[in-house]
Structure 1
Amino acid sequence: MTRLASLPTNDIVALDAIALSQAIHAREVSCVEVMNAYLAQVDGLNPQVNAIVAMQDRESLLKLASERDTQLARDGSLGVLHGFPQAPKDILPVAGMVTTKGSPLLAKQITQTDAFIFERTRRAGAVFIGRTNSPEFGLGGHTYNPVYGLTRNAFDPSRSAGGSSGGAAVAVALRMLPVADGSDMMGSLRTPAAFNNVFGFRSTPGCVPYGPADEVFYQQFSVAGPMARTVPELGLLLSVQAGFDTRAPLSRRDDSPAAFASALERDMRGTRIGWLGDLNGYLPTETSLLDTCSAALRHFETAGCTVEAADLKFDFNRLWQAWIDLRSFAIAGANAPLYRDAAKRALLKPEAVWEIERGLGLSGEDVYCAALDRSVWYQTLNALFESYDFLVLPAAQVFPFDATLNWPHSIGARTMDTYHRWMETVVPATMASLPALSAPAGFGPAGLPAGIQIIGPAQMDLAVLQVGLAYDRASGYSSMRSPLLA
């Protein structure tokens, strides 16, 4: 049998995650050879984009990879990720690694426990090589922070990588990782996926247990989930991440995680797609981006779906107000102790201070009314799913923007009134707790990536991936590679 390691390093990292797992388990390539190949890819490309930070000692990583080879030969596989290099996003804790959350206040914090998803990734055989970069406390759709600096776009390093899982998206797009984890509150898996021509999946809350254990009831919006270059690779990682955990009472017992990796084939004939566009002009959106996303809809039709404009009637300003109230309430609750310490407050980014001050200024009635508005919004979308199987809208309102900006301050003639108003398009799915897949939608006139969101009914995570696979096979957008890989 020809060993893959006899081929150039580029051929190892060019394998999709499924083929890589198969090659490792067939002993066609060793975990040490895989580790060397990915470390060489990081050495060659990461200096241009700064996606992976806090890199671990090379000698230690190769020792761990060698141990994976010994385990495979002696005791068998730990799981589908056996020998996979991974770099957990620098937001949730990893035992024995620095967890800065992009903040100088936590720059030397070595955490002692794994978040639930990282426990599962370890058990499946992954080796953690570093962390992927994130904005401070995950706030904002642009990945930069005072600890590690700026992460740049995989297709044009002068542009933003998106955020907050910007490091993860770039690392996957440039094959510095086979797959990657991320998290999503306000599009943190979806925006960077769109900006870097990869897939990011915001699962239904509870599909992937979210924690450490002291946060299991606190989290109402954030989910952890996968990023990958194709839907089957996304499903492979999700099959590891998903499933019930007794420490996470809102996680789901009825999930069959293996289905995410094995049951993605589905006949899409007759599937009804509702196109939401820019919400009838409500969302300020770059014209060429809306055109690019609209043009991508034809690939659903190629896959057998019907597509039509969906008529969604709602007061979207009311939805936005409810969103920022609930978001600020949550952020303030988590970070108020930092704010109350004047020395620490001086080290917080302005956007964090703004969120905390808003949250501290809310009354109990404000929060309750926002939750009621959220319920009305969910029922509105639930009724729309009587007419459509899936809803689609752009995953971002702009193409990747100038990386030197802190955030887009205007779209066309419309000025953004907050640091995150430019990414309002991701709020509908989050506020309704619906699964949403960010999928590549092609490239705009300047050659920059665009993405669409495919939103499904509550807890229809597998169905969203199934339609995403059919769409991607019809479009072929995911096969487009960054010029940096030439």
Structure 2
Amino acid sequence: MTDLTALDATALSALLAAGKTSAVELMTATLDRIDAVNPKINAIVSLRDRATLLAEAAAADAAPRKGWLHGLPVAVKDLQAVAGIRSTWGSPLFADFVPEADALLPAKLRAAGAILIGKTNTPEFGLGSHSFNPVHGATGSPYDPSRTAGGSSGGAASALAARLVAVADGSDMMGSLRNPAAFCNVYGFRPSYGLVPSDPVGDTFLHQLSTDGPMARTVEDLARLLETLAGYDPRLPHSLPPEPYAEGLDSAPAGLRIGWLGDWGGAWAMEPGILELCEDALKVFERLGCAVEPVAPPFPAEKLWQSWTTLRSWAVAARLGLHHADPKRRARLKPEAIWEIERGLALSAMEVHRASVIRSEWFVKLAELFTRYDALVLPTAQVWPFPKGWRYPEQIAGQPMDSYHRWMEAVVPVSLVGLPALAAPAGFGASGLPMGFQLFGPRGADRRILQLGQAYHRATEWPQKRPPAM
């Protein structure tokens, strides 16, 4: 008998469409798997009751197909408002909040036929690359539940790796879907900024650091979910038109040029073994006919960090400043949130302007780099999955970290300018823990990056190596 939870979303969709399984059978297998495994990793939270979900699955079996996700159980990241499901943002301020309406992203999932079963865990307000919060606790990696699954999409990545869901949504400001993909041996895709629309609420012009994106165990599932989430929205000033990402995905990469940026010429502290594992993974591209070569640091790392921390704190203060302004609500915010908000509130307009000038200079430099390379590669993280009881790594290889997020500096070059980036598994280190790399290209090159990722996946299939403890 086929283990339905082991299959990817594309395969499940085909079985459901052909009548070779039912939504009820799939929902039963999914809930059984969650009951058996989720207590060990705490990936899915606010799970709806079994009887209601089975009734919705039966209704899906009796209804015309809505889309490729018809009848598939999906859990939504707990930074999204989902009608009828407790949506907390990992904050005690929203611990009992149950929205009456869907945000845009879960509405798109429902429209494609998904059955929304609950939420995936995240850090408070998505701040920090470790998914713990006072409402739901901490999420562990299926490869070692005592270690973090990363964040802020840690619940999504852990649920994928543990076969609790077949696809998941993530979001990414500072590596929030790339870091968990690396820590859990799955894929995450940060699309070009503007490709996946968000709810047109509040300011939609200034802050361009964060975007939603797909996560999966195969690149084909990534591409299909991106087709579901993407779409031009005339209400959003930076909105981009989508492409058929799953079409023509198997494209020969021979002759493409890839540049390896490593640790930015030693600017970033790295734990032992990470660079070597990523370099081994790059040999796969060479075997596929690509030219891979090291690239000297193309821009001062400290200028990128200065620009990033200014624009990030400004964005966080704009989003969460309302809570900080109320002393009672402020007392319920985590220290990292308060630090970010207060930094952002203290910035002058000219400090923000200068940070954006640096961002603009980096974008110009990248335009020149992409005349020589079809894609660039960075390690996804600078540390291996760390103990779940930590708030964040306070040092890397003996070098102190001066903030709660400095240990994720390697994701900044992509996030700062809104480029498409595939977080791909690189394999496992000596301790058996997973790690990954970021493959990224120029704005709008999402399809090309996914095609490169598909060739790599066909050659490696790292996510199909199941966690031994699961």
Is TM-score (shorter-chain normalized) higher than 0.5?
yes
CA deviation after TM superposition for structure 1 residue 215, in Å:
5.4
- What is residue 430 of structure 1 aligned with on the other side? 415
CA offsets, 1:186-207, max 9 Å, x none?
A: 0001000000000000000111
CA contact (8 A) 1:269 1:304 kept: yes
Counterpart amino acid of 2:417? A
Whether the 8 Å CA contact 1:186–1:427 is kept in 2: the answer is: yes
The partner residue of 1:356 within 338, 341, 362 is 341
Note the 1:39-58 alignment, pairs <5 A: 39-58=31-50
Aligned residue type for 1:189: L
> 1:484 Cα deviation (Å)?
2.6
What is the CA–CA distance in structure 2 between the aligned matches of 1:234 and 1:216, rounded to whole Å? 26
Which letter does structure 1 place at the counterpart of 2:192?
Answer: T
Contact preservation (8 Å) 2:79, 2:89: yes
Taking only the aligned residue pairs, the percentage that are identical comes to 50
User: What is the rounded CA distance, in whole Å, between the counterparts of 2:111 and 2:201 in structure 1?
Assistant: 18
Give the counterpart letter for 1:108 in structure 2.
D
Change in CA separation of 1:471 and 1:335 when aligned onto 2, cut-off 3 Å: same
Q: Distance in 1 between matches of 2:200 and 2:94?
A: 17
Aligned mate of 1:462, from 425, 447, 465: 447
Q: Cα distance, 1:478 vs. partner?
A: 2.6
- Which residue does 2:223 correspond to in 1? 235
Question: Counterparts of 1:212-291 in structure 2 under 5 Å?
Answer: 213-214=201-202, 216-217=204-205, 219-253=207-241, 255-256=242-243, 259-291=244-276
Residues 227 and 245, structure 2, Cα contact 8 Å, conserved in 1: yes
1:141 to 106, 110, 129: 129
The one-letter amino acid paired with 1:50 is N
Match of 1:311 in 2: 296
* SS of match in other structure, 1:391: strand
Alignment of 1:367-382 (within 5 A): 367-382=352-367
Corresponding residue number in structure 2 for 1:68: 60
What's the counterpart of residue 145 of structure 2?
157
Distance verdict in 2 for CA 1:218–1:86, change over 3 Å:
farther
Q: How does 1:181-196 map to 2 (within 5 A)?
A: 181-196=169-184
User: How high is the TM-score relative to the length of structure 2?
Assistant: 0.98
Structure 2 residue 379 is the aligned partner of structure 1 residue 394: yes
Given that 2:422 and 2:440 are in contact with CA atoms closer than 8 Å, whether structure 1 keeps it comes out as yes
Does 2:440 align with 1:452? no
**1:390 Cα deviation (Å)?**
0.3
Q: Could you tell me how far 1:315 is from its partner in structure 2? A: 1.6
Question: What residue number does 1:211 align with?
Answer: 199
Give unmatched runs, 5+ long, in structure 2.
Answer: none
Q: Which runs of 5+ in 1 are unaligned?
A: 1-6
Change (3 A) 1:218 1:120: farther
Which residue identity lines up with residue 200 of structure 1 in the other structure?
Answer: G
Q: Deviations over 1:147-173 (max 9, x none)?
A: 000101110001110000000000011
Do the aligned partners of 1:116 and 1:212 also contact (CA within 8 Å) in 2? no
- Three-state SS of the structure 2 residue aligned to 1:451 is strand
Q: Which moved more, 1:129-138 or 1:114-123?
A: 114-123
How is 1:326-341 mapped onto 2 (pairs within 5 angstroms)? 326-341=311-326
The correspondence of residues 469-480 of structure 1 with structure 2, limited to 5 A, is 469-480=454-465
Q: How far does residue 325 in structure 1 lie from its aligned partner after superposition?
A: 0.5
Q: Which residue of 2 aligns with 1:3?
A: none
- Measure how far apart 1:472 and its partner are: 1.9
Match of 2:17 among 12, 25, 28: 25
- Tell me how far apart the structure 1 counterparts of residues 107 and 205 of structure 2 sit (CA, whole Å): 19
Instruction: Tell me the alpha carbon deviations over residues 190-228 of structure 1, each in whole angstroms, 9 at most, x when there is no partner.
Output: 000000000000000111112254454454111111000
Q: 1:65 to 1:359 in 2, by over 3 A?
A: same
1:85 corresponding residue in structure 2: 73
In 2, distance between residues paired with 1:372 and 1:299? 37
In structure 2, the partner of 1:59 is: 51
**3-state SS in 2 of match to 1:287:** coil
- 2-structure distance, mates of 1:413, 1:286: 9
Q: Does 2:88 align with 1:103?
A: no
Aligned mates of 1:461, 1:313 — CA distance in 2: 22
Secondary structure at the counterpart of residue 393 of structure 1: strand
Distance 1:442 1:83, change over 3 A: same
Asked if the contact 2:161/2:463 (under 8 Å) is kept, the reply is no
Q: Is the 8 A contact 1:296 1:475 kept in 2?
A: no
Deviation at 1:319, TM superposition (A): 1.0
Give per-residue Cα distances to partners, 1:25-53, cap 9 Å, x unaligned.
Answer: 11111111111010011001000000000
User: CA shift at 1:267, angstroms?
Assistant: 1.4
Q: Which region of structure 1 is more displaced relative to structure 2, 206-215 or 266-275?
A: 206-215
Query: Offset at 1:262?
Result: 2.2
* Mean Cα deviation higher: 259-268 or 191-200: 259-268
Instruction: Give 1:87 shift.
Output: 0.7
1:13 aligns with 2:5: yes
